[in-house]
Amino acid sequence: MKATAEAARRFLVARHFLAPARSLAGGVDAVLEVFRKLGSIQFDPIAVAGRNHDLVLHARVAGYEPAWCDVLYERREIFEATNKALSFVPTSEFPWFRHVMGRKGPRFHATVLTENADVAERVLERFRADGQLSSLDFERETGPTKDWFGMPENAVRAVLESYTVAGVLGLARRDGKLRYYDLLERLLPAEVLAHQVPEREQLRHKLLSRHRAHGLLASGGAGGTFDRIAPPKSTPERVGRNTLHEELVELGALVPVDVEGVRGKRFVLEQEVALLEAPPEPTPSVAFIAPFDSLLWDTALLANLFDFTYVWEGFFPPARRRWGYYVLPIISGDRFVGRIEPRIDLEDAAVRVLNVWWEDGFAPRRAGGFVDAMREALRAYLRFAGAERLDWAPHLATEKRLFLSRP
């Protein structure tokens, strides 16, 4: 099929529940609806402006509270999996995520358990007896396993990861960056664990899940979109992702699309073809988009469709940053119009706006409905942050007057 650039923009905004923003009602059930639609949401513990997965959900779910996602995790309705990056995935999809590569592949992790058999048995006995444990609950032990730099690795840590790859242990919870594990049989429903899916079907599902997360990817993805699924080309030992992608097209799960002004074919989910053919007109709403939101994965497509340059600068040294450390793109209707750098100060119950950058040619006062929509977005963000006031940096006096907002 063919699609105009305008239709593609409107389609992406609509299928990401951003037309309008924060309109998906239903509390925890609405959160689950986003997970089912996008397949997974990237988890990141950094919380200077809100954790990434919370920001993704806040942009889409009315009145979103971070506790809602935590509740789903505690109920085991979502679990952690590597899906492009560390992500939350609906527990119902666990059978399609059994095939885990780990840091160095299943063969490496199977060898870890064999070479550290005594340690592995002691670790497993502790879990059987005590339940949830972290690596800090064990004494450090040495073994033949080496880290990335060829140095002896803590055998307990290696065994914990390998048991996770093998499907014996799962992540039970987190305390900051500290992971707590438990026997997988205690963490997931028996009927989910009993559901066996062939490996090839698992790999196809993972590939499709990343198309679900974005909505209009090319066959090669973008920026590591399809990493850790399979190499591009098939070998006698394993199927490649090019073949898996062809199978998804042949099965009708993905439909090729020529998008106006975009090089190469894009692919849309079969069930979303009708939405791409007739996307709704954009609404006057504003949302702040998380740095690792799947809408931002394909930076080349952002440049072509939205005329928006996006680079995550969190890993850059300060001198190399054009914008800032934790900056959120601002989307209004079907256009990216700027960026905002907020900080949540829990002790002072405030949100501090360090900076705002508007796209060239965009004037907030002259954009119909934007000022009111921005005020509502800021009020919603204050509620999300549990803050009582906005503190604007001194050089943002104009924005402060224009968007003066209270909870």
Instruction: Indicate whether 153 pLDDT > 80.
Output: no
Instruction: Indicate whether 298 pLDDT > 90.
Output: yes
Q: What is the pLDDT of residues 308-364, one digit of tens each?
A: 999 999 889 999 999 999 999 999 999 999 999 999 999 999 999 999 999 999 999
Q: What pLDDT does 150 receive?
A: 63
Check if the beta carbon of residue 96 is closer than 8 Å to that of residue 187. Answer: no
Q: What is the pLDDT of residues 8-57, one digit of tens each?
A: 999 999 999 999 999 999 999 999 999 999 999 999 888 999 999 999 99
Q: What pLDDT does 407 receive?
A: 46
